[in-house]
Amino acid sequence: MEIVPFTPNRVFVYEHLARAKRFHCSVTGTFEYDVTDLVASVEEARSQGRSIGLVALLVKATGMLMEQHPRMNRHVFHRLWKKLEVDFQKISCTLIVLRQAPGGEDILFPVLLEDPHTRSIDDIHAEIKHYKTAELSSLPQIQAFERIKKMPGWQMRWFSYKARSDPHFYLRYFGTYGLSSMLTRDWGGIGGSALANTGSGFQPGVLRDEPKVLDGAIVIRKMLRLNVVADHFLLDGMDVLRAMQDLRPLLETTQLLAPPNASPS
């Protein structure tokens, strides 16, 4: 038997999830989208030299969804004797990025993508690529979280208290909603459940070819599984269902692929 102490990274993850478990009521739903046309258009755009990706498209689409369904973009805060429902009146996507530390440990860190609903796919993709390829020590997010991970226990608990009670403090570190960047192709998760500290968050599952009935015929289409994690203290089932229905025209058409100097129709 070997006793392996938590690394500072795992201590931070533990505190983050413990806060989510105690102060939020995370429920998860899984939806599927036919992204055949979207994927084909992305591949065509890439062949013509355009630097874009599906994760950037998901950032844009979910940002536009937050604008259309502002309640999905809110957050519940807990103070000593009262609960607060906060409308941030801005949209900021917390994209969870997976990188490998110099010692080989996998680390997750949040990247704040401001105003994704107003930005081009190209601009969003370029920023994501920077965070996935730049030297880790050069990233302000890593520098900030390295400082947090070095906090003694009482300071970590103070950080957790501020994150659950102070909207301005929370917004600085965690944005207004969440999205995972870990999209997989051909094989991967098709469902599941998660804890989250956000009012709403999105977890791409697997993107793969599947049979589907279309106009009475069985055809092969590219289907994307997308999990949504919602805080049931804030959102009810119909809130989530309406929002995920309104995501269909964004993902099942090519309207998001407008050139950088144009707006989606």
Give CA torsion, residues 117, 97, 193, 57, to 10 deg.
30
pLDDT at 114: 96
Whether 93 and 32 have beta carbons less than 8 Å apart is answered as no
Indicate the pLDDT class of residue 262, thresholds 50, 70 and 90. Answer: low
Where does residue 113 fall: left (phi above 0), alpha (psi -120 to 50 degrees), or beta otherwise? Answer: beta
pLDDT at 48: 92
Indicate the pLDDT class of residue 120, thresholds 50, 70 and 90. Answer: very high
Q: What is the mean pLDDT of residues 204-224?
A: 93
Residue 63 domain flag: yes
Residue 238 domain flag: yes
Residue 1 domain flag: no
Summarised one tens digit per residue, pLDDT across range 136-167 is 878 887 777 777 777 777 788 888 899 999 99
Tally the domains of the chain. Answer: 1
Is residue 37 scored above 80 in pLDDT?
yes
Tokens of 243: 């929002």
Whether 86 and 74 have beta carbons less than 8 Å apart is answered as yes
Residue 47 belongs to a domain with what CATH number? 3.30.559.10
* Nearest C-alpha neighbor of 91 from the set 168, 167, 169, 171: 171
- Beta strand 92-100 pairing with 106-114: antiparallel
Summarised one tens digit per residue, pLDDT across range 63-74 is 999 999 999 999
- Taking the C-alpha atoms of residue 189 and residue 187, their distance in angstroms, rounded to an integer, is 7
Residue 158 domain flag: yes
Indicate the pLDDT class of residue 53, thresholds 50, 70 and 90. Answer: very high
Q: What is the mean pLDDT of residues 227-253?
A: 96
pLDDT at 264: 47
Indicate the pLDDT class of residue 260, thresholds 50, 70 and 90. Answer: low
- The segment with the largest mean pLDDT, out of 9-13, 185-189, 201-205, is 201-205
pLDDT at 46: 93
Tokens of 213: 């009935």
The reported pTM is: 0.89
Q: What are phi and psi of 82, to 5 degrees?
A: -160, 160
Residue 3 domain flag: no
Query: Domain containing 165: what range?
Result: 8-253
Residue 263 domain flag: no
Report the chain's C-alpha Rg in angstroms: 19
* Nearest C-alpha neighbor of 201 from the set 20, 18, 11, 13: 20
- The segment with the largest mean pLDDT, out of 33-47, 104-118, 139-153, is 33-47
Residue 261 domain flag: no
